[in-house]
Structures are given as structure tokens and as C-alpha cells.
Structure 1
């Protein structure tokens, strides 16, 4: 039997309360809840997924506030990724917060050389059309392909015209398949593992 039996209600309650009081005092007082209701079930889920999807590393709960105007110290979610690089990597992504679950696969933000190859493929009639067909096919299965972590360019990228037949995708800086589930009772059961694995 799987050691993962779903996410406890306490996980969603913890992040709801952390959103209301994102302070070191709250964290220190409730760290045992994080360990029991967040970290332990998340590790159990990741261990179930590793054989099929490779190692998934869990994000630290602390936020990097050095270059942010928002100085709240803790993330309002827990998550994991198969990719060590935030920029230039292609991999799986999983996030759980008070509002639900997000899964994804792709490149959230491409490095310049990666972006050059991506745009050349979108520009090409054959591969560009195949990409559009894939996006449409995934949409029919309620799987949206997004532009990743950053907003698309407002204008055409250098070297491409604004009336290019695939200008929408040429303006992207990433490409990732995203599935979002709003919080629901099934997330407290082993069905969660099946849903994530299936996507």
C-alpha cells in the first residue's frame, strides 16, 4: 500500500493561516504543523512519483527576499520540481497551496539560445503547425499550454513580423503544459496520486 494517502486538511489550513500571518513568530509556533501536515505528506507523494518521473526535489519554505519588495519570509505553498535550474530547464513541476494543486511540465523561462531554437521551430511551417496542433489537442483534454513564468512580449520579437501566422507563440519566453485543480475533497485521498500521475 502507498505511504501517500492524500494531503491532510491541515495542509490547506496551515497555508490559509500563514497567509494571514506570514511572520517568523507564526512559523516558529507552528513549525510542527508544517513538518506533519505539509513536509511529511509531500515527501510521501514525491517518493511515489520518483520511479516514473525521476527525482523530484522539494522547494524550501523560505522565500528569497533579497531583491523583492515583498519581504514576507515564507512561501504560501509547497512544491517540487524535477529540474535544478529555474531558468533554462525543462521538467516537471508540482505546487500545493491553500487554493489547490498545480502540476506542469515544460520550460517556465528559456535561456537565449533555447529561446532562439524555440522561435526558429515556431517560425518553421511544419514544426510550427505541429506545435499549434499539439496545443489544440491538449486544450481538448483540458490541459492548457501557457507562456511560462513571464508575460509574453508586447511586440513581435526581433526578426519576426507582427502579422506572422504564429505571432502569439513567437512572443512567448517559455512553454509549459499546466493543470490546475481548485481545492477539493478528493485531495485528501489517494486519488491525488492517481490524478497527478495521469496528467
Structure 2
């Protein structure tokens, strides 16, 4: 029987789960990590995989199903080869749900980020290739009214667009749209909305309801983006 069934959707996150993340922040080194590796697995990684699977089941009959599992959780080990920051481990747990169930899926995504302060959830299109990104930008210009409606609904529902290092000036080929009503959006490299979460929603299991609600709220954004790219999620 899956762990999440036995625990009635509480997954296994506890106060100790967040304490582990706090300790990892204070002791980001192999000497601390190795003795705590099993506990991290039991109180962070395993419950996270379970919540992705439960969310997947909840979205099974959605118009645009998304799939997540243990395979769509990001590794805790950091790649420090080309980074000035030599901390060996990430100090959060994160993972995806995508239409294909693969982390390599470059279409729409649903994202969960568990951190010591509670973290956040996110949804949308992240760091698209320039060619694809420009298709999205073109659609914003061509369908400005629809994009305005989509963004206003998301903002009203409490979801904020995360800029993720926006361009300081208009992107190449779009300088004539510097005064466009969506000029700030045209400077983005990602179209992702986020919402902070508390520790309690992970512990009581309501994080799944929040992910499902975000997925539903993002439906028009997904559709807008996929149509811009000439693909479909349905």
C-alpha cells in the first residue's frame, strides 16, 4: 500500500522535515549530509515523490493532465564546476509535473519548491529557447486583449508573475513595442506565476489542493502558450 494512502494524504512531512532543511543551510557539507542522508530520504524526498504522484492522480482527468513522480524530482547535489558558490547541496527540495512526465519536457510545467520557510508553487513556461520565446512574444502582441484577461485573472487569484532576470531593454526585433501595454512581459524569458506556501500545507497535505488549484487557474495561460507554439496539451 502506498505510504500516502496509509497516512491519509499527510505524506510524511513533519516539523523535523523543515528542521533538516534549516540544519542543511547551517551545515552545507558532506560531513553533515552523509549521516543525515537516510533521514532526508524518509522525511523529504520520499514524501515529495508521494505528493507528486497524488497530484498526478488528481489531474488524471483534467483537460491537460500533468505527470510527476520520483523521476521528476531534482537532485540535491549541486553542479559546482562553473559556479563561484561551492556549496555541494541545494537547500530545498523541488520537482515538476509536466505533460509527458519528464523533466526534459520543454512545454508547460507545474512546479513545487519545498524550503525551510515553506517554499512556493509555480506554473507556466520556464526559460524557453529564443525561437519558442519569440513565438510567445508574437502572440502577446497579436492577442493583447486575451493576454490582458489571462494575466488579470491570475493576479486576481493571488498568483504573481516571477520575472526570473528579465531583459533590461526590449528584446532584439521588438524595439518598436517599447510602449506596448505588455512591454514588461515582452522582456521576460519565462512566463511563470508563483505563490508562496507555508510549512503547514506540506504537513497537512493540502499542498496537493493548492497545486491542483494552480493548475486549474493556469489553464488559459497553458492554452495561450501552447497555441503560440503551434502545439496542444489536450
Aligned to 1:54: 67
CA distance in 1, matches of 2:96, 2:206: 21
**1:163 lines up with 2:182 in the alignment:** no
Given the alignment, which residue of 86, 104, 112 partners 1:85?
Answer: 104
1:134-178 CA distance string (max 9 Å, x none)? 11111111012233xx31111112222222232111111110121
Contact kept? 1:108, 1:175, Cα under 8 Å:
yes
Aligned twin of 2:84: 69
- Root-mean-square deviation over aligned CA pairs: 1.9
Structure 1 residues 43 and 55: alpha-carbon distance in aligned structure 2, compared to 1, 3 A threshold: closer
Q: Distance in 1 between matches of 2:109 and 2:199?
A: 26
Q: 2:115 aligned to 97, 100, 104, which one?
A: 97
SS in 1 for 2:119: strand
Distance 1:110 1:25 in 2: 38
Q: 1:164 & 1:43 partners in 2: Cα distance?
A: 43
The reply to whether residue 17 of structure 1 matches residue 20 of structure 2 is no
3-state SS in 1 of match to 2:25: helix
2:94 and 2:201 mapped to 1: Cα distance?
A: 19
Work out whether 1:112 is the aligned partner of 2:130: yes
Contact map agreement 1:5 1:189 (CA 8 A) in 2? yes
1:171 and 1:198 map into 2 onto residues whose CA distance is: 28
CA displacement at 1:186 relative to structure 2 = 4.0
- Partner SS state of residue 87, structure 2: coil
> Is 2:152 the partner of 1:136?
yes
Q: Do the aligned residues in 1 keep the contact of 2:52 with 2:97 (CA within 8 Å)?
A: no
Gaps of 5+ in 2: 60-65, 215-234
CA distance in structure 2 between the aligned counterparts of 1:121 and 1:74, rounded to whole angstroms: 39
Which contiguous aligned blocks of 4+ residues in structure 1 show a shift greater than 6 angstroms?
none
In 2, are the aligned partners of 1:77 and 1:95 still within 8 Å (CA)?
A: yes
Structure 2 SS opposite 1:100: coil
The alpha carbon displacement at 1:184 in A equals: 3.8
Contact 2:113 2:121 in 1 (8 A): yes
Give TM-score scaled by structure 2 length: 0.76
- Answer whether contact 2:137 2:186 (CA < 8 A) is retained: yes
Cα deviations across residues 34-85 of structure 1 (Å, max 9, x unaligned)?
0121112112212211222323411111111111110101110011113423
Structure 1: segments with no counterpart, 5+ residues? none
Please state which structure has a larger fraction of its residues in strand.
Answer: 1
The residue number in structure 1 matching 2:193 is: 177
